[in-house]
Amino acid sequence: MRLENLELPRVEGEARLELLWKDGVVEDARVCITSIRGVEKVLMGRHYMDALVITPRVCGICGHAHLMASVTAIEKALGVEPAQKGQLVRRITQSLEILQNHIKWFYLFLMPDFVLLEKSVREFYEPFRGRRWQDAIKVASKIAKGIALFSGQWPHSSYAVPGGITSEPSAKEVTTLRQILSELRDFFLKYTVGMEEGEFISCLREGSWRRLGGDAGLFLELSHREGLLEAGRSYDRFISGGSLYFPCGYFMKRVVHGKLRVEQLQELESSSYSGAKPVRYRGMPFETGPLSRQLIAGNPITKSMHRELRDSFAVRVMARVLEVWSLTEAIEEWTQRLKEVLHERSTSLGRFPSKFSGRGYGVVEAARGTLIHSVSVKEGTVQEYSIITPSQWNLGPRCENFLGVAERAILGLKSPLHAQMVLRSFDLCSVCTTH
């Protein structure tokens, strides 16, 4: 028995991985996340609107998702329905945030690990110098520009308010956004999957993932060579809050179940080694994120990969990559609808009430999975605020009965680098895990 303690590079924040080795195989793994900043605490006693400015600061990469969860929770507490236009625009910017995350994650966070295994891919994915690394940053910042068109800036905007949004977008914003989307499509087709649109669509329809080319094809080939196509499996149970291009639900025993009951969700006490609190649904650990979303949405490629390889490293990664396309399509559709309601008001509640009492929660999808905010307000002041982040599902520690989702996925691996890569396939983020 040998204990190994790894500090991980390229994480949002800091995280450590403790591995217990026996006969050259990982026998036990602990994901340790520390450095708590205490955002929930800062909200106590403040005016409820302050949450819209403070909660995005939980995370510099998915701050927009926090804003959306926060505003939804407040709207529920107020009993307000957002204006249609506001709702559409919010969905668009929220999805754009996920898109830029996926691009950055695949090219800047994930692929550089392969550089350590395979010298030949260095010219593409080496940090700072790699060709694709550089292209990816460019595209990601274009997408961020798309968010800013509506929200004022990215990161850290606070343009979603009870009832809708603060901006009043016009045709100009919509047409610029469509430009950005087509650039993204081109990038995705040319580099990420390396094929013409028609060919990709037929691949997608048939679920034939082995035909994919480009960086995705290369990724699959490298994963195959490293034995990572089938490695990195966890509980094969998935959960998702819905709200974007697919309904909410959970996936268990190879069946998609609709409807998610918030009452059946539990946040347990954090363990001795991690600052994150484990979350359980009906007492069990579930994985959240693009793989959950793609399975629930029924993406044919993801489905057929999952049928063959279950919830492995490669399937998890490919689900995130393929979601780029699903989201782009969804945004196109919302943009069409937005055109029709552009002349309508941006909010259904122009002036927020200064004082009110109530409680509410917001369930939204962030890049890494389901994010939940809940708030209780008395006379306009925050009494309680609690946040359950996607990474708590995936990277949270063990409880009495179960290992954490990522912990379980690492068992049985044979190299520390593989262990890190599998952990990274969950889109590791420690800043939001412990907020």
Partner 1 sequence: MKVFWLQRLTCCGNTHSFLNYESLNTLLKRVELIYHPSLSQKPQEEAVEELLRRGEEFDILLVEGAVRRDDRETLELCRLAGYVVAVGNCAVYGNIPALANANVCGLGYRFKEKGGLLGEGFRSKGGLPVINLSGCPAHPEWIAGTLLMLSEGIKPRLDQWGRPEEFYSSLTHWGCTRNEYFEWKVEAQELGSKRGCLFYHFGCRGPLSYSSCNTILWNGVNSKTRAGTSCFGCTEYDFPRTGLWETKQYAGIPAELPIGVSKRGYIMLSGVAKMFTPERLKGEA
* Residues of span 354-413 touching partner 1 by CB under 8 A: 354
Contact 72, 363 (CB under 8 A): yes
| H/E run at residue 372 | strand 369-378
Does residue 50 touch partner 1 according to CB under 8 A? Answer: yes
Using rule CB under 8 A, residue 76 touches partner 1: no
Check: CB of residue 175 under 8 Å from CB of residue 95: no
SS3 166: coil
Return the residue of 151, 240, 312, 394 that touches partner 1, per CB under 8 A: 151
Residue 198 within binding range of partner 1, rule CB under 8 A: no
Cβ distance to partner 1 smaller for residue 162 or 242? 162
Q: Which of residues 176-195 bind partner 1 (CB under 8 A)?
A: 176
Helix (H, G, I), strand (E, B) or coil at 359: strand
Q: Which of 26, 96, 147, 174 binds partner 1 (CB under 8 A)?
A: 147
Q: Which listed residue (191, 209, 313, 352) binds partner 1 by CB under 8 A?
A: 352
- Give me the least distance between CB of 322 and partner 1, in Å please: 23
Residues numbered 53 to 72 that lie near partner 1 (CB under 8 A) are 53-54, 57-61, 63
| 2-7 vs 16-22, strand pairing mode | antiparallel
The amino acid sitting at 410 is I
- Cα separation, 427 vs 194, whole angstroms: 23
Cβ-proximal residues to 425 (8 Å cutoff; 6+ apart), any chain? 110, 232, 313, 316, 317, 409
The residue within the footprint of partner 1, chosen from 243, 299, 347, 392 (CB under 8 A), is 347
Min dist CB 10 to partner 1, Å, is: 6
- Interaction of residue 49 with partner 1, rule CB under 8 A: yes
Total residues contacting partner 1 by CB under 8 A comes to: 75
Q: Which two tokens stand for residue 102?
A: 């996926």
What is the closest distance, in whole angstroms, from the C-beta atom of residue 244 to partner 1 in the complex? 21
292 binds partner 1 (CB under 8 A): no
| Interaction between residue 283 and partner 1 (CB under 8 A) | no
Rounded to the nearest whole angstrom, what is the least distance from the CB of residue 276 to partner 1 in the complex?
16
Residue with tokens 């629930």: 296
Q: Which residue has the tokens 């708030």?
A: 375
Q: Give the separation between CA 435 and CA 21, rounded to whole angstroms.
A: 31
Q: What is the DSSP string of 107-169?
A: IIIITHHHHHH-GGGHHHHSTTT-HHHHHHHHHHHHHHHHHHHHHS-SSS---EETTEES---
Residues 200-239 that bind partner 1 (CB under 8 A): none
Residue 335 contacts partner 1 per CB under 8 A: no
- CA quadruple 207, 212, 218, 222: dihedral, nearest 10: 30
Query: Helix H segments across 342-396?
Result: 390-395
Minimum gap (Å) between residue 281 Cβ and partner 1: 27
Dist CA 162 CA 348 (whole Å): 8
Least distance (Å) between residue 81 CB and partner 1: 15
Query: Is 92 among the residues that bind partner 1 (CB under 8 A)?
Result: no
Range in contact with partner 1 (rule: CB under 8 A) among 223-231, 270-278, 347-355, 359-367:
347-355
Q: Is the Cβ of residue 56 or residue 249 nearer to partner 1 in the bound state?
A: 56
Are 280 and 268 in contact by the 8 Å Cβ rule? The answer is yes
Q: What pairs with residue 249 in β-bridges?
A: 240, 258
Q: How near is the Cβ of 50 to partner 1 at its closest, in Å?
A: 5
82 lines the binding site for partner 1 (CB under 8 A)? no
